[in-house]
Structure 1
Amino acid sequence: MKPTDFAYYLTNFLSKHLPGIEGCSANTISSYRDAFKLLLIFAKDKEKIKEKKLNLSVIDKDFIIRFLQWIENERGCSVITRNQRLAAVHSFYLYLQGELPDKMYRFQQILSIPFKKQPAKTINFLSTEAVKALLCAPDTGKKSGRKHLMILGLMYATAARVQEIADLKVSDVMHNSCSLVKLTGKGGKSRFVPLEASVSGMLCQYLEDFLLTGSFKMTEYLFTNHSQNKLTRQGISHILKRYSDMVRKKQPELMPETISPHCLRHSRAVHWLQAGVELIYIRDLLGHASIQTSEIYARIDGEMKRKALEKVSSYAFAGEIPSWQKNKSLMAWLKELN
C-alpha cells in the first residue's frame, strides 16, 4: 500500500527534521508525537477518516479547529494542553511550507489559528515547615526510604524539574566532592547548581550505599526503579504523592490536597527569595532564559510584600481612627463640616 503524503511528511518531520535540523530534545519530539497520535484518533473517531486515507488535502483550518475543540470539550484538556497540541501542529506546517511551497497559502491558514489566552496560573508552594515534614517522612532505616529521601531532597535542594532528576547520571553529581550537580533542562541546556553541605554529604552517602562510586558507574542513572531501569517522571510523582499523603494525614494544615514535583521547584525558588538570594541568581539556578520568568516568585509571597511596603513607607499611620470612619455614613460626616 502506498503511503499517504501526510504519513510521508509526518515521518520525516518527526524522525529527521526535528532531531537533525531543529535539534529538538527527545522530550519535545515525544510531545509532538503524542499530539499527532491524538490527531489520528480524532480523524478516525470523529471525522471517520482512517489513517491510510488521511491526506494533507483533507486537513484544513476548520479540521484543526475541530480537533482543538475536541481536545478541550470531549477529552477535558486544559487550555495549556490545547496550546501545546497547536504548537506541534504549527511546527509541522512551518516545516511543510519549505517542503511544499506551492501549498503555502493553505498551510498559512492553519498557521493563522491563534493560541488561546490562558488564565493566569496559581503558583503553589510549600512552607519550610511542610518541606521539613515531607523530608522527614521516608523511613531511612530502609534502603528504599533512603533512596526516596535522596530523590525528594535533591529535587528540592536544586529546584530541578522532574525530568532533570530522572535524567541524572552518576557523572552529573561527581563534581567537586558532590557539592555541584549538573542539570540538563529544556533544549539540552545544562547548568550547575551548588549543594549545601548537608545535602552534599547525604549524596555522597547515597552513592556509597548504592554502590555507585566506581569510575565504571559514571554512565549509570543515579535513580532507578525496582527493575534497575531509569526512574520515570511518573515514578517520581508517585514517590512524592506517597509521602505527601503521609504528611497530610498527620498534619493536614501543612500539605495541600494536590502536589506535584514542580511544587517543590516553586517552593525552593520562593525560599531562596525569602532568604535574600537575588532574583538574577535564582534565574540562573532555575535555568530560566529570562529574568521575567523568574519574577513570578517575587509576586507570590505576601509576607515579602508586606515587609517591602514597610521599608518604603515615609510616614506612620495615626493610631487614632478619623472620626468619619467611626460613623456608618460618610455623607453625614461631610455635612457636619463647616
Structure 2
Amino acid sequence: MAVTTLLAPVLHEYFTAYLITQRAMSDATIRTYRDTWRLFLRYLAEARHVPAHQLAVTDVDAASVLAFLEYLETSRGNSAATRNLRLAAIKSVMAFHATRSPEHLDAAARIHAIPVKKKPKPQPTFLTNLEAQALLDAIGTDTWTGRRDRAMFTLAAQTGLRLSELTGLRTVSLHLGAGPHVACTGKGRKRRTTPLTTATAAVLTGYLHERQARPGDALFPTTQGRALSPDAVQQRLSLYVAKAHASCPELAGKHVTVHTLRHTAAMRFLEAGIDAAVIALWLGHESIATTSMYLHADLNIKRAALERTRHPDIPAGEYHPDDPLLAWLKSL
C-alpha cells in the first residue's frame, strides 16, 4: 500500500533547510515563494475540503496547479507576470521534492511542463523633469515626516534605487563627505554605491542632521524608529502625487510608483547621452538588455537618432509615411 506523504514537512524542509540554508535566497524571494504557497494551500484546502496541514503531496498535480493559475487570473485579477511568478514558486518546491522522492518525479515533470504565459512588454512609465519637480514640491516640509519624505523621494528620483533598496538603507549607508554617495544591497545581495549630486547631498545633509535625534538606525524611519515598510513608502508617494495634480495636470493620467522614479532616473541619463552600459551599472541591472527598454520608451531619443542619420542637404523634420492609396498606385 502506498504511503501518503504530507505536504507540510516537505514545505518546512524546503523553506528552512533548502531555500534559506543551502540556496541562501534573498528575503524578497523567500517572501514571494511563501506568499505563493499560502495562497495555493488555501485554494487547495477549499477545493479538497481538507485542512491545509493535512494536504498530501499527491494533492498537488498539474490539474490543480492549472486550476489555481486560472483562479489567480479570473478571480483575483492577477497579471500574467504575477501568474508566472506563482507558477515558478510551485515548480521550485515540486522539483525539490522530486529529487528526494523519485516516485513523485512524473507528477513534478508534468507540473514543470506547464508553460509560462507570454505577456506584452510594457513601456516603462517615467516622469518628465517638470512632473518630477512638481511631485517633490508637493511634499510639505513643515513637519518632520514631510522633511523625511522630501529627502527620501529626492534620493529615489536621483539615484533610481529600488523600493527594497530604499527601505533597507541605514544611516551608515549614507556618505556625505568628499565624493558623496549612498551604499545599498540590491538584487542578488549585490552591494553597489551610487554617487549623489550636490543638490541631493544638500537635502540629505540637512535631513541627516535632524535624523540623528531620532531612534533606530533606519535612514528613513517611522516615528517609532523602525524602517518604513514598502507599502508605507508607496502610500506616502501616492499621497504626494495626488497633491501634485493641482500644479501639474499631466500627472493625473500616470500611475506613479517608486519604480516610476527609478525609470525617471534612467531616462534622465539617456537624455544626457549616457551610454546604456553605464546606466545598467548604475541601476544594478544583471544585463544591459534590461536597460535597453528605456531606449524604446522615449520618442525624442529615436528622433535624435534619425536626425543624426539625415543627409546634410535634407531639411530636418518628422517622417510622414505616404498615403496608403497613393503608395499602392505608385507600386502598380
TM-score using structure 1 length: 0.89
Residues of 2 paired with 1:165 and 1:330: CA distance? 54
| Structure 1 residue 165, shift from structure 2 partner | 0.5
Query: Which residue of the partner structure matches residue 291 of structure 2?
Result: 294
Query: Which residue of the partner structure matches residue 6 of structure 2?
Result: 5
| 8 Å CA contact retained: 1:90, 1:110 | yes
Q: Which whole-Å deviations, capped at 9, do the CAs of 1:52-98 have from their partners, x for residues lacking one?
A: 33100121111111111111111111111101100101111221122
Residues of 2 paired with 1:76 and 1:16: CA distance? 33
| Structure 1 residue 334, shift from structure 2 partner | 9.1
SS at 1:283 equivalent? helix
Bigger mean CA deviation after superposition, 251-260 or 71-80:
251-260
| Structure 1 residue 129, shift from structure 2 partner | 0.6
1:237 aligns with one of 234, 237, 248? 234
Residues of 2 paired with 1:47 and 1:119: CA distance? 35
Q: 1:60 to 1:277 in 2, by over 3 A?
A: same
Query: Which residue of the partner structure matches residue 143 of structure 1?
Result: 144
SS at 2:68 equivalent? helix
| Structure 1 residue 4, shift from structure 2 partner | 5.7
Query: Which residue of the partner structure matches residue 15 of structure 1?
Result: 16
| 8 Å CA contact retained: 1:171, 1:218 | no
| 8 Å CA contact retained: 1:168, 1:183 | yes
Q: Which whole-Å deviations, capped at 9, do the CAs of 1:156-208 have from their partners, x for residues lacking one?
A: 11101111100001111136457111121111111110000111122122111
Q: Which whole-Å deviations, capped at 9, do the CAs of 1:242-262 have from their partners, x for residues lacking one?
A: 111111133212453421111
| Structure 1 residue 34, shift from structure 2 partner | 0.3
Query: Which residue of the partner structure matches residue 271 of structure 1?
Result: 268
| 8 Å CA contact retained: 1:4, 1:52 | no
Residues of 2 paired with 1:281 and 1:299: CA distance? 17
1:38 partnered with 2:23: no
Query: Which residue of the partner structure matches residue 80 of structure 2?
Result: 79
1:309 aligns with one of 306, 309, 317? 306
Between the aligned residues of both structures, percent identity stands at: 28
Q: 1:318 to 1:264 in 2, by over 3 A?
A: closer
Query: Which residue of the partner structure matches residue 225 of structure 1?
Result: 222
SS at 2:182 equivalent? strand
Report how many residues are paired: 324
| Structure 1 residue 6, shift from structure 2 partner | 0.6
Residues of 2 paired with 1:211 and 1:262: CA distance? 28
| Structure 1 residue 285, shift from structure 2 partner | 0.8
Q: 1:310 to 1:318 in 2, by over 3 A?
A: closer
Q: 1:242 to 1:330 in 2, by over 3 A?
A: closer
| 8 Å CA contact retained: 2:157, 2:265 | yes
1:248 aligns with one of 245, 249, 254? 245
Amino acid at match of 2:96: Y
Q: 1:329 to 1:202 in 2, by over 3 A?
A: closer
Query: Which residue of the partner structure matches residue 91 of structure 1?
Result: 92
Matches within 5 A, 1:171-186: 171-174=172-175, 176-177=177-178, 179-186=180-187
| 8 Å CA contact retained: 1:160, 1:265 | yes
Amino acid at match of 1:252: P
Query: Which residue of the partner structure matches residue 48 of structure 2?
Result: 47
Query: Which residue of the partner structure matches residue 322 of structure 1?
Result: none
Residues of 2 paired with 1:134 and 1:272: CA distance? 19
| 8 Å CA contact retained: 1:129, 1:254 | no
Residues of 2 paired with 1:334 and 1:71: CA distance? 51
| Structure 1 residue 316, shift from structure 2 partner | 4.4
Q: 1:294 to 1:10 in 2, by over 3 A?
A: same
Q: CA RMSD in A?
A: 2.5
TM-score using structure 2 length: 0.90
Query: Which residue of the partner structure matches residue 199 of structure 1?
Result: 200
| 8 Å CA contact retained: 1:18, 1:24 | yes
SS at 2:37 equivalent? helix
For structure 1, list consecutive stretches of 5 or more residues without a partner in the other structure: 320-324
Residues of 2 paired with 1:136 and 1:117: CA distance? 40
1:166 partnered with 2:163: no
For structure 2, list consecutive stretches of 5 or more residues without a partner in the other structure: 317-321
SS at 1:77 equivalent? coil
| Structure 1 residue 11, shift from structure 2 partner | 0.8
| 8 Å CA contact retained: 1:159, 1:264 | yes
Asked which structure has the greater CA Rg, the reply is 1
Bigger mean CA deviation after superposition, 135-144 or 69-78:
135-144
Residues of 2 paired with 1:209 and 1:267: CA distance? 28
| 8 Å CA contact retained: 2:98, 2:104 | yes
| Structure 1 residue 45, shift from structure 2 partner | 2.5
